Structure 1
């Protein structure tokens, strides 16, 4: 089938849509690889802390400051970059993010000073702000509607996979040739992938053409409904609550299980591994569910309600190590299932041509949860209440379910008027 084109600026031809299966598959592959590498970038420094402490002659507090700089910068820039995606095009922004993030890590290894570690962390945080808005804008514009849920699920799966392989890759490379080699190889992988993405043919909707066609009425007229709508702001809170509940389990469940459940460190790590691994495969199942229904809020609410019940069981009952592993594994699987439906909810709420800024705004919820959650759950453990790590997670899960159902009812009330 011939690809339709329209005349772009300066006489360029831009594809209207990547309807050919091969084109859509290539787009999904490259965007998913970018997501995988972005998660490796996020975890590039922590596995190298023992090496960097010796080579830079600093303590772990100073090294932890680099992660704080990374996350603060990423949180501040993500929403503005979302607007930039819709103006100049997701392809350019994604390639720039990969290139900048890769060069930032490469430079940290080459310069080898603590001052530049902080600068490199800031640059990597700036680059990290590009990935979610650009990736989702590309997928929203370039994937067929009947494959969108599975596309989102594979994209998320790739990110989870990047998180899983990053420590082994970084430590293995550092043992071979030191932290400079590890950061250099990981950094160059981003630069190389940027070289493949920059010439990629993508739909016009992902190239910022909506911004070029802005009418005299201004931004709101150009994009239809305003991007800072009640639905988008509600989804930002939704993402924050998700980050608080799942982040609490991911980061503090091992400490809670060891101190309050009478299990060994090995057993606690095995339970967390089961939660994370089954969550990864739950994402793939969730993609098929998302493509078979339009009731994404209902899917998210139902799956997370059962997740909350399983987590509550962990909080209040003495299950034994086998019961703990089964309950946390099932909870992880169901929490992964909601990820594609979550993304479909954002896509449905985004204004026309505004996927980049919509995903940029709601993704800051992850940063908010990531900043607040460690303080709260650390305070819980410091006060000798390890079971409340899971109890607090249940509270956040229940609020997430209520918010999803509220949004579903609100959408049902507005649909007849529309």
Structure 2
């Protein structure tokens, strides 16, 4: 592998772009695998003879395992190398689906969900650790945004891919092919030669960088920040359609269009947010401003009945601003992480997302059971306001990072 410290400028840039592309593909796989089982629920329900409660329990197992292992995986990535852990995660997630396709039973489904949750816990700690140490500092925000966009894309195309695979190969074949994507991408990353984050976290004299505690007030606050981000978006994404239909008299078609605008604009906002994150050091203020506007938009939706066109536009603006926040969110974590501890830092704060995934179905499901659909948006407003406050508290000027790439490394994104 080319030595990044002595290679010519164009070689360094090519290496960084290759690393970004490879890590983004891995993130695509992570989001694609998250949606494989839900997309096959109708098939699994018939084949296994179970109800949706039993199928939903599999997703609960997935969320719990991912939540409990996210932080330990971050420590493991910093200890033995993010590259190795990422490759193992891709293979474990893929093999879990392959084995389910080869031996379909409810027990196998639960085991598969647990292994998928374990595999899912590797992506944020490992991906961000590698990107944080091998991307150009001046373009770090854009690198994070492309990585996040790739994940959004994986979730967006999962339904059509799984539907096509079921049509061509049946449900079992679809599971096996979807699982095979993991090991194939792991092999691709080996061929590409992605670097290891740990190799960039050493002193120039070859001695290991001094270890610092990653459990800091800033990291703990960011974990809660991530949890609030997840809670504020989960109600809209998962219960927005039923809330609009039952509480506002919106048709199924109009509600779907509004949610599509929200999700589609989020993906576009992520890319725009990458450029913004590279042009400011006040990432907390960016997040606070975007979510402050979002809170106002959601308050209007919660308290009034808007025409379909206006509702769609409002949801689109909210989605775009929510996407803009993502790169700034990631930069906040990177700036708060001690040198050589990016894997642990992202592992800990990403646990907040996992907890929101466990709590949000219970909370917003209870709200809908109480026939209070307006509070799907009202509760999101409350979480957004809390997110604004935490964003301002966690906003810190970035420290000088000696462990990053050498100056002049400028890949074109």
Give the TM-score of the pair, scaled to structure 1.
Answer: 0.90
Distance 1:104 1:170 in 2: 16
Structure-2 residue corresponding to 1:112: 104
Shift of 1:114: 1.5
Deviation digits for residues 228-256 of structure 1 (CA, Å, limit 9, x no counterpart): 10000000000000000011110111111
- Find out whether 1:187 has 2:175 as its counterpart: no
Structure-2 residue corresponding to 1:223: 211
Change in 2 beyond 3 A, CA 1:207/1:115: farther
Structure-2 residue corresponding to 1:391: 378
- Find out whether 1:148 has 2:130 as its counterpart: no
Distance 1:204 1:397 in 2: 36
SS in 2 for 1:343: helix
SS in 2 for 1:338: helix
SS in 2 for 1:323: helix
Structure-2 residue corresponding to 1:252: 239
- Find out whether 1:174 has 2:161 as its counterpart: no
- Find out whether 1:297 has 2:284 as its counterpart: yes
Shift of 1:3: 3.3
Is the deviation greater in 78-87 or in 381-390?
381-390
User: Mapping of 1:24-63 within 5 angstroms?
Assistant: 24-63=16-55
Is the deviation greater in 203-212 or in 366-375?
203-212
Contact 2:82 2:197 in 1 (8 A): no
Structure-2 residue corresponding to 1:236: 223
Change in 2 beyond 3 A, CA 1:201/1:96: same
Number of residues paired by the alignment? 396
Deviation digits for residues 199-252 of structure 1 (CA, Å, limit 9, x no counterpart): 55445543486599558xxxxxx223x201000000000000000001111011
- Find out whether 1:68 has 2:55 as its counterpart: no
Contact 2:75 2:343 in 1 (8 A): yes
CA RMSD of aligned residues (A): 2.2
Structure-2 residue corresponding to 1:348: 335
Shift of 1:343: 0.2
Gaps of at least 5 residues in structure 1 are 7-14, 216-221
Change in 2 beyond 3 A, CA 1:125/1:5: same
Distance 1:314 1:130 in 2: 37
Contact 1:91 1:198 in 2 (8 A): no
Change in 2 beyond 3 A, CA 1:126/1:204: closer
Deviation digits for residues 58-115 of structure 1 (CA, Å, limit 9, x no counterpart): 2222221211111111111110000011011111111110011001011111111211
Is the deviation greater in 149-158 or in 193-202?
193-202
- Find out whether 1:158 has 2:150 as its counterpart: yes
Shift of 1:5: 6.0
Change in 2 beyond 3 A, CA 1:157/1:280: same
Distance 2:275 2:382 in 1: 28
- Find out whether 1:98 has 2:86 as its counterpart: no
Contact 1:149 1:291 in 2 (8 A): yes
Distance 1:48 1:184 in 2: 13
Shift of 1:182: 1.0
Give the TM-score of the pair, scaled to structure 2.
Answer: 0.91
Runs of 4+ in 1 over 6 A off after TM superposition: none
Shift of 1:260: 0.6
Contact 1:19 1:143 in 2 (8 A): no
Structure-1 residue corresponding to 2:367: 380
Shift of 1:158: 0.5
